[in-house]
């Protein structure tokens, strides 16, 4: 993130993951082959890998996190939505409200609204 709320990326740009669209943003997260950001209007924009990892849901969101091949976000009503590769159940988000979420390689974890940690996906 730059001081004027634009995104600068560098490194491997094999499929465009380091080539952000123009616009102003609040946050950015990078997966292995895709990148996502929350725009200034609280919508999610993703770019690069077209195999489901960049199919961001509509609506407004508070945060977004990119795993290796999946992405999760906290919606404006504090629920979690995930998309992308689900080979290990890493996009099968639990119901309920959450304070934060973070995506790993093949798993995802979140802090619930009552301050407990819950994880799903690959546990091997």
User: 53-101: per-residue pLDDT in tens?
Assistant: 778 899 999 999 999 999 999 999 999 999 999 999 999 999 999 999 9
Beta strand 107-112 pairing with 98-103: antiparallel
In a domain, 13, yes or no: no
CB 46 within 8 A of CB 70: no
| Global confidence as pTM | 0.92
Give 69's contacts (C-beta < 8 A, 6+ positions apart).
Answer: 31, 32, 33, 34, 49, 51, 53, 84, 85
In a domain, 75, yes or no: yes
In a domain, 60, yes or no: yes
In a domain, 42, yes or no: yes
Enclosing domain of residue 47: 25-121
DSSP notation for 50-62: -SSTT-PPSS-EE
In a domain, 2, yes or no: no
Average pLDDT, the chain: 93
The total of structural domains in the chain comes to 1
In a domain, 57, yes or no: yes
């Amino acid at each position: 993130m730059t001081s004027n709320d634009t995104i600068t990326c560098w490194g491997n740009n094999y499929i465009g993951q380091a080539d952000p669209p123009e616009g102003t943003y609040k946050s950015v997260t990078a997966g292995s082959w895709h990148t996502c950001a929350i725009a200034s209007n609280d919508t999610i924009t993703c770019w690069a890998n077209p195999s489901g990892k960049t199919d961001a849901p509509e609506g407004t969101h508070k945060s977004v996190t990119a795993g290796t091949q999946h992405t999760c976000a906290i919606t404006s009503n504090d629920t979690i939505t995930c998309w992308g590769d689900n080979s290990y159940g890493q996009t099968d988000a639990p119901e309920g409200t959450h304070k934060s979420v973070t995506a790993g390689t093949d798993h995802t974890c979140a802090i619930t609204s009552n301050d407990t940690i819950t994880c799903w996906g690959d546990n091997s």
